[in-house]
Amino acid sequence: MQSGLVDFHCHLDLYPDHAAAVERCERDGVSTLTVTTTPKAWPRNHKLASATRHVRAALGLHPQLVADRAHEIGLWEELLPQTRYVGEVGLDAGPRFYKSFETQKEVFARVLTLCAAAGNKIVTTHSVRATKAVLDMIEQHMPPPRGRVVLHWFTGTAAEAKRAVDLGCYFSVNAEMLANEKRMAITKMLPLDRILTETDGPFTQTDGRVTWPSDVRVAIDGLARLHEIPLTDMSTTIIRNLKVLLADKV
């Protein structure tokens, strides 16, 4: 079953039953990228995903965990040749995590440098209160010819959005990015041919419950209304963007 839905950033291993969550994505036909927060989590994610048609696992080292797990970058490097998908990685300059910001930058620089050296990696990237720093590092360490970055839950400015586009970035949009006028205004600036959709489940809610990848329909509907185009056209655009991204042999 192919639903025509894309959830390009969620955490299937953080649902109560990881295997059941993977099976649900497969049953629902949702093209799903399940990210990991540590490289130690990746092998099981990869094993479950590799048995499916629709689910793929990304190799991550979450910036919010770098303070305690920066040493795991060695394991991350060992596993990198086994996957094209990387995430969740990036920077977080929020108050709770700012004390590790310099270490985060060291880890992220290594991630980008290794991805650039490998070529053709797709990197789903966290940039909370750190969009400029993330873009600076992409420009320095992994410019467009060397890979592709998907900015997850983008919260930057209009100028940063334009710069990200110029750097070849894609954007994965969730329902929260369409929840108020300020967020919608920035989201509307993003080129339609660079848009994917995401849920970031289980860290988000839909109708008062934990969001599932199939709930990405809410984001697609919001994007269609935002751009004043038919829902089917928006869904087709997102699927086309995913195919272009995956076929892009940068």
Give the angle 156-139-8 at the CA atoms, nearest 5°: 55
Summarize the confidence of residues 179-187 as an average pLDDT: 93
Contacts of 138 (CB under 8 A, 6+ apart): 112, 125, 149, 167, 169
Domain 5-247 in CATH 3.20.20.140: yes
Q: Averaged over 96-118, what is the pLDDT?
A: 98
Least Cα distance to 163 among 141, 183, 185, 144 occurs for 144
Q: What is the pLDDT of residues 120-165, one digit of tens each?
A: 999 999 999 999 999 999 999 999 889 999 999 999 999 999 999 9
In the prediction, which pLDDT does 2 show? 59
Using alpha carbons only, give the angle 123, 143, 134 rounded to the nearest 5 degrees.
60
Residue spans of the domains in the chain: they are: 5-247
232 pLDDT above the threshold of 70 = yes
pLDDT at 112: 98
How many helical (H) and strand (E) elements, i.e. helices and strands, does the chain have?
10, 10
Q: Give the DSSP letter string of 205-233.
A: EETTEE--GGGGHHHHHHHHHHHT--HHH
Q: Which residues pair with 150 in a beta bridge?
A: 124, 170
Q: Looking only at Cα atoms, what is the longest distance across the chain?
A: 48
